[in-house]
Chains A and B, each alone.
Chain A
Amino acid sequence: QKEVEQNSGPLSVPEGAIASLNCTYSDRGSQSFFWYRQYSGKSPELIMFIYSNGDKEDGRFTAQLNKASQYVSLLIRDSQPSDSATYLCAVFDQTGANNLFFGTGTRLTVIP
């Protein structure tokens, strides 16, 4: 069974601060990693994906991947109250099932 671990939170940050969300995964062979945002009562929305070691930036979001440490993170700069949501880390398993495994999500609250 593939494991994707996230701190469930809640993580609270003040408006304008950097929010750091972390995720570890068990399958060393995983190659593709995705971050989804899920507002309460809504469906997951894709915000970032990363395939290579290092950083990938998109606006206020930066995904960081370290395959040696089996660790992927999402940084949100200049956090806004509208960023308050649950952030789901998903890891693509290419060694067997060819599908996504999701963590349980980290709930982020940005305090105005």
Chain B
Amino acid sequence: EAGVAQSPRYKIIEKRQSVAFWCNPISGHATLYWYQQILGQGPKLLIQFQNNGVVDDSQLPKDRFSAERLKGVDSTLKIQPAKLEDSAVYLCASSQGYDQPQHFGDGTRLSIL
């Protein structure tokens, strides 16, 4: 079974630029999550999708972050414009259902200069 795929693995941009991350979940997993993990902290949920609908985006900074999952499969997360404090690892995870174990992709390490 293929795992959660994410790209790119690394990204370096300057502040105020925009960036996008892509995620393809495990086949058949209806629930998809984007997390932000700052160094030394646990992952923090940004947004949760159930199929192509948003379940929870209460911690997503909506003035600069956006995410979509148009066909209920892969998803993109965008930051525009980026701030220095957005430097983190962005993790995508998926699960069969909202209360089922989540499986993580390798993440995208974002550095803001």
Contact = CB atoms under 8 A, between A and B. Distances in A.
**Are A and B co-members of a single complex?**
yes
B91 interface: yes
Task: Give the secondary structure class of B's interface.
Answer: loop
Contacts of A102: 42-44
Interface string B80-92: 0000000001010
Contacts, number: 48
Interface residues of A, number: 22
Interface in A91-112: 92, 94, 97-100, 102-105
9 contacts: A32-B99, A42-B106, A43-B105, A44-B91, A44-B104, A98-B48, A99-B48, A102-B42, A102-B43
Given A99-B56, A99-B98, A104-B40, 15 more contacts: A43-B89, A43-B105, A44-B43, A46-B102, A88-B42, A88-B43, A90-B42, A92-B99, A94-B99, A97-B56, A98-B56, A98-B98, A103-B42, A104-B41, A104-B42
